[in-house]
């Protein structure tokens, strides 16, 4: 019997373990077959259902007719001088979103997107300039990790990480050891799709990543931080960028709705609920805007005594940006001031700059569907959770 068109077939990459088990049962097979199926998909990176040879033939046929394993299509791949790779991926035929792989000696970090564009309008971010089109689906979010694993294995990137070969551990899961939701979009504005995606990343049935190796970064959607605390256990990063509300209102407009004190309270609550070790606060270094020693002291006062780490991000320029990167010695002085006041502070090394793959440079191609612009659109207009 011919299969249904691809657009009508269920994408298995979007199913959590219980959903996959229920689906397998629905097709008349035993739920334990779901584990075999998941092993093919996630551990071996196999997309062709007919190749999943230890599944019964009838079951394979029924599955191939109704379901598929489909990752986003690749439009373009770019390789940086430093080994960073950026993929431009297709959405709806006309738009694009991006993901980035950053190899390091002891790990391989994949930075994935959660939305086509972003609605939050942070003044220093390239993605914000493009506006917002839609949320990515669970299958598109999980599909990025699945696709990167296959692509990196094919490119031989796995060998460079030098990890041992293990029978049931495919090249896929070895290349990508860490996943960060720090690409395009605000993950907490798309909780409905992001939570099941995170569940699949953590499940031993899926990618089997430890919760310390999966990090969600948010610009500070406070109610959704409380929701996340109840749903799934991953590391939390927060884009703080300013030590006071007046400046943060300007840089991260969602602050007008959820000011710093409220945001920090939500962070400490998250740690209590999740047994987390600390929250990472991202702080982009903008020359003469937020990089003075007085601001470092103010930041230290906000966070002192709490389980917090500060990650300073040198500003990455993009066409039309109205900021400059703080000079290196100023960034180091800022860091040392924080360390001197008892905080853990590091400077994020800029990677992939030559291919516009660094933080805040991801742009893709987005057809803006938001009509309200300039900050006000951050206020719940497109926050869907
Ligand atoms: N929307 C989420 C996820 C994006 S993470 C968030 O805001 O956290 C990307 C990180 O890069 C965020 O901390 C973001 O504030 C930061 N960033 C954005 N633009 C940047 C730029 N031009 N240079 C350096 N960092 C930037």
Cβ partners under 8 Å of residue 5, min gap 6? none
How far is the centre of ligand 1, averaged over its atoms, from the C-alpha of 363 (Å)? 12
284 within ligand 1 shell (Cβ under 6 A): yes
Average pLDDT, the chain: 90
205-255 pLDDT tens trace: 999 999 999 999 999 999 999 999 999 999 999 999 999 999 999 999 999
Ligand 1 centre distance from Cα of residue 239 (Å): 7
Indicate the SS3 state at residue 365.
strand
- Is the Cβ atom of 359 under 6 angstroms away from ligand 1? yes
Q: Residue 317: count other Cβ atoms within 10 Å of its Cβ.
A: 17
Mean pLDDT across 331-335: 98
Residue 260 pLDDT: 98
Q: Is the CB of 119 under 6 A from ligand 1?
A: no
Token pair of 223 as six digits: 């109610």
- Residue whose C-alpha is closest to residue 103's, from 39, 136, 151: 151
Atom number of ligand 1 nearest to Cα 361: 22
Tell the residue nearest (CA) to atom 24 of ligand 1: 315
Q: Which residues are catalytic?
A: 98, 359
Q: What is the pLDDT of residues 8-19, one digit of tens each?
A: 899 999 999 999
Q: What is the pLDDT of residue 2?
A: 53
State if residue 316 touches ligand 1 by the CB under 6 angstroms criterion. yes
Helix segments in the chain, DSSP class H? 17-26, 33-38, 57-66, 126-130, 138-155, 157-161, 171-175, 191-202, 222-231, 245-251, 260-274, 293-303, 328-340
Write down the pLDDT at residue 374.
37
The pLDDT score that the predictor gives to residue 117 is 94
Instruction: Please tell me the distance between residue 159's alpha carbon and the centre of ligand 1 in angstroms.
Output: 30
* Nearest atom of ligand 1 to the alpha carbon of 282: 13
- H/E stretch holding 181 reads strand 178-181
Residues 156, 93, 124, 112, CA torsion sign: negative
345 bridge partner residues: 310
Rounded-to-integer distance, Cα 252 and Cα 238, Å:
11
pLDDT of residue 375: 39
The second-level CATH assignment, the architecture, of 6-68 is: Orthogonal Bundle (1.10)
User: Is any ligand 1 atom within 6 A of the Cβ of residue 124?
Assistant: yes
Cα 331 to Cα 1: distance, rounded to the nearest angstrom: 64
- Indicate whether 334 pLDDT > 60: yes
Measure CA 154 to chain center. Answer: 23
**pLDDT higher at 270 or 363:** 270
Ligand 1 atom nearest to CA at 318: 22
Write down the pLDDT at residue 237.
98
For ligand 1, whether the C-beta of 282 sits within 6 Å is yes
Take atom 9 of ligand 1 and give the residue whose Cα is closest.
Answer: 182
Residue 163, pLDDT above cutoff 50: no
Query: Residue 360: CB within 6 Å of ligand 1?
Result: yes
Instruction: Give 337 Cα–ligand 1 centroid separation in angstroms.
Output: 23
CB 89 within 8 A of CB 74: yes
- Using one digit for the tens of pLDDT, what is the confidence trace for 186-200? 999 999 999 999 999
Among 1.10.760.10, 3.40.50.11540, 3.20.20.70, 3.40.630.10, name the CATH number for the domain at 74-374: 3.20.20.70
Closest Cα to atom 18, ligand 1: which residue? 360
Ligand 1 atom closest to the CA of 125, numbered from 1: 19
Angle of CA points 103, 172, 209, to nearest 5°: 80
Give per-residue pLDDT as tens, 265-319.
999 999 999 988 999 999 999 999 999 999 999 999 999 999 999 999 999 998 8
Spatial distance between the Cα atoms of 305 and 341, rounded to a whole number of angstroms = 10
Q: How far is the CA of 124 from the centre of ligand 1 (A)?
A: 8
Residue 215: CB within 6 Å of ligand 1?
no
Neighbours of 133 (CB within 10 A): 24
Q: What are phi and psi of 241, to 5 degrees?
A: 65, -10
Looking at residues 12-39, what average pLDDT do you find? 94
Q: Is 219 in the pocket of ligand 1 (CB under 6 A)?
A: yes
Q: Which atom of ligand 1 is nearest to the CA of 238?
A: 8
Q: 74-374: same fold as 6-68?
A: no
pLDDT in the model for residue 154: 86
Query: Cα(100) to centroid of ligand 1, in Å?
Result: 14
Nearest CA to ligand 1 atom 4: 182
Kindly list the domain boundaries of the chain, sorted by start residue: 6-68, 74-374
Task: Tell me phi and psi for residue 321, to 5 degrees.
Answer: -70, 140
| pLDDT attached to residue 370 | 74
For residue 357, what pLDDT is reported? 86
The 3-state DSSP composition of the chain as helix, strand, coil percent (nearest 5) reads 40, 20, 40
Tell me which residue has its CA closest to atom 13 in ligand 1: 239
With the most atoms of ligand 1 within 8 angstroms of its CB, the residue from 122, 124, 125 to mutate is: 125
How many CB atoms sit inside 10 A of residue 5's CB? 7
**DSSP tag of 350:** P
* Residue 257, φ and ψ in degrees, nearest 5: -90, -40
pLDDT reported for residue 359:
83
């Amino acid at each position: 019997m011919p299969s249904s068109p691809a657009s009508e077939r269920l994408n298995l990459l979007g199913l959590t373990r219980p959903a996959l088990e229920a689906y397998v049962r629905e097709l008349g097979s035993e739920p334990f077959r779901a584990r075999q199926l998941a092993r093919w998909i996630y551990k071996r990176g196999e997309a062709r259902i007919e190749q999943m040879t230890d599944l019964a033939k009838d079951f394979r046929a029924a599955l191939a007719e109704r379901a598929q394993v489909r990752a986003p299509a690749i439009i373009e791949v770019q390789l940086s001088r430093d080994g960073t790779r950026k993929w431009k991926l297709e959405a709806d035929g006309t738009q694009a979103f991006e993901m980035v792989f950053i190899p390091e000696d002891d790990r391989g970090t994949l930075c994935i997107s959660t939305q086509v564009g972003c609605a939050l309008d942070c003044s220093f971010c390239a993605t914000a300039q493009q506006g917002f089109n839609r949320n990515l689906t669970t299958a598109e979010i999980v599909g990025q990790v699945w696709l990167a694993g296959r692509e990196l294995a094919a490119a031989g990137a796995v060998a460079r990480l030098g990890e041992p070969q293990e029978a049931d551990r495919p090249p896929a899961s070895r290349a990508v050891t860490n996943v960060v939701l720090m690409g395009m979009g605000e993950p907490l504005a798309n909780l409905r799709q992001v939570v099941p995606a995170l569940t699949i990343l953590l499940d031993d049935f899926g990618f089997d990543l430890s919760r310390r190796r999966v990090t969600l970064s948010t610009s500070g959607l406070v109610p959704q931080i409380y929701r996340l605390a109840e749903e799934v256990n991953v590391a939390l990063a927060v884009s703080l960028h300013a030590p006071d509300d007046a400046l943060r209102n300007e840089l991260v407009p969602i602050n007008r709705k959820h000011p710093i004190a409220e945001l920090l309270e939500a962070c400490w609550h998250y740690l209590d609920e999740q047994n987390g070790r600390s929250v990472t606060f991202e702080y982009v270094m903008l020359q003469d805007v937020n990089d003075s020693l007085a601001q470092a002291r103010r930041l230290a006062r906000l966070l002192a005594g709490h389980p917090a780490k500060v990650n300073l991000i040198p500003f990455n320029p993009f066409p039309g940006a109205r900021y400059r990167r703080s000079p290196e010695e100023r960034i180091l002085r800022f860091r040392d001031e924080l360390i001197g006041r008892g905080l853990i502070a590091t400077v994020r090394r800029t990677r992939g700059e030559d291919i516009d793959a660094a933080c805040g440079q991801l742009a893709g191609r987005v057809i803006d569907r938001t009509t309200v612009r300039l900050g006000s659109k951050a206020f719940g207009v497109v926050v869907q959770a």
